[in-house]
Each structure stands twice: as structure tokens, then as C-alpha cells.
Structure 1
Amino acid sequence: MGMIDRVMAWVFGDGRNVVAETVEVFRENIEGRAQRLTDEKAAALAQFAAEFAQPRKGLFDRMIDGLNRLPRPLLALGTIGLFVSAMTSPAWFASRMAGVALIPEPLWWLMGAIVSFYFGARYQVKGQEFQRSVAESVIRSEAVIKDAAAPPPDTIALPEGYADNAALTDWWRSRNAI
């Protein structure tokens, strides 16, 4: 028995698992990874909560919020303005577009990236809100369908022998009303 104990202690160590420790050199510990990810998310949420704990009501904050709301309407109205100017004054429009044609390509790439990130983030947020509302609607509709399909508790037919026992009757009705 002593030799088996010494071999097992050599393989598994004294109160530790040498095999598991060796495997973790080559493969990440899944439980440890999950704990690290959970800690990271909790820290990010705590930081976000701390940032927005105090409501901002100052003039500067309201001005910045107003400026953040301007790009989409300005881009939309500017595009419509380009169409109107092309129809009303083609020569003026052509001279402006000749100037736009002189803008270097890397600057167009930069502008495209900025606009993509700006509108892409908004698109993602709105898409997630839409998916959340669809999920809530599905849950509500399932509850409505379940309520509509369930017969009233008074009309549920009781099995034979349940009518004599009030507790069994209540239990049967509660189980079949849900």
C-alpha cells in the first residue's frame, strides 16, 4: 500500500493535481476563463454605472446632447438639398461636384469609416431594441393564447373520486387552469 501511495503522490502531488496543472499549460481552464469573463463584465458594468450615476443637467451637457442629434438630420437634409440644387442650377451643381471629384481617395475612405461606425452603432442599438420588443411580443402572445385556450376552472371535468375531496378538487383545477 505504501508504494501505491508514493506513486500516486508523485503523479498527483501532495494535495494538488499535477495532471490537471500540466494540462492547463497546454489548454486553458474553462472554469477559470468563465470566471475571468464574468469578472471583466462585472467590472465594465460597475464602471458604466459609476459614470452615469449622477444625472447631468448642465448647459454644457444639454448642448452636447443637442450636437449629437444633429448629424443624421443634417446629412439627410443635405442630400435632399443636393438633389434640389442639381435641378434648379445644374451649372452651380456641376462646379461643386468637380470640387468633390478632387478630394483624394484616402479621405473618402476615412469619411466612409466615420459614417459607417456612426450609423452602424446606431443600427445595432436599434436592431437590438427591435429584437427585444419582438421577443416580448412573442412571450405576451403565448400567454394570451394559453389564456384563451384554457377552459375556465369551473368547467374542467374532474376525474372520478376527486369531487368528494376539496383539496384534490382545488389541486386538479389549479393544475389544469395553468
Structure 2
Amino acid sequence: MGLMARLFDLLFGPGLRELRKTVEVFRENTEAGEIRAAQARAAALHQFGAEFYPTQRGRFDRLMDAVNRLPRPGLALGTLGLFVAAMADPAWFATRMQGIALVPDPLWWLLGAIVSFYFGARHQAKGQEFQSRLTETIARVPQVMTNVAVLERLGERADTGSDATLALDTLTPKHNRALEDWRETR
């Protein structure tokens, strides 16, 4: 690079920087373009992750999360309770079911819509949470691949081929002056 830099300084003198700027008007600097693209990808991943994982969650958010966890267990336990009530007191259960039979159809439709929207929204929120975790996992892939390559290199051993002497030399410990001195002092 030094020779080429000197050659360009000789040819273009102090105007080399201006020549670069002029060329970059017509052709993008590839290295700078790749840096900008990598920064844009990193910023998009960071923004995507921040959207689904707020850093500060207040008491109200935690309370709402707890309340949102109640309907599914409530529906399941309520249904089991109806079975228990039907077995424990059939007459009482039949009376209650006659009352439910009087509920008008539009009210049943409204209940169905509310339950559908609740579980649909929950399904969508859980799907988005899964996608954000998947994005974080994918973002860690290059580091994991680097770690795997380093570990594979650490596990490689020298190939001694068919040379038995060389193989024995690699497995037999050599003369260690420091170890011998230490043993003598003990």
C-alpha cells in the first residue's frame, strides 16, 4: 500500500483526497457502504428487540399481566366445577342450566366474540414474542459459529501419520527442568 500511496501522491500531489471525493460522487465507496448496511441491520435488530421487550415495567403493567393470566385457568376450573356440581347436586345443576337456556342468542354471540378476541389477541402477542426471541437467537449465530470454530481448532491434534517415533514423542512428556527443581525442593 505504501508504494501505491507514494505513486498516487507523485501523480496527483496533494489533490488525492479531492480525487477520491470526486470518484465517490460517481461510484460508492464499497467499504463505507458495507459499514452503513451493517449499522442499519444492527439498528433494525435493536429497534425490533426494544419494541417487544420494554426495559422498565411498572406496577400497573405487572398487574395487568397477572390479570391477563386469569381467564384461561378460570374457564378451565369453572368447567370442571360445573362437572362436580352436576355430580354433587343434579337438581341444583339442572335448575341453573334451565336459567342458562333462557339467555338470548345475541348475548351468546357477544360472549363468543369477547372470548375469541381475547384468545386471538393473546395468540398474536405470544407469536410476536416468539418472533422477537427467534430474532435474538439468530443475531447470536455468528458469535456461536466463531466459538465453535475456536473450539474445533483447540480439539485438533497433530497428525503423525505412520511415524511411530513421532507419535510416541508427542505422547511422552519431555525433560522439564522447572518441575525437577521443584521436586528437589520438596
The two structures have a TM-score, normalised by structure 2, of: 0.40
The two structures have a TM-score, normalised by structure 1, of: 0.41
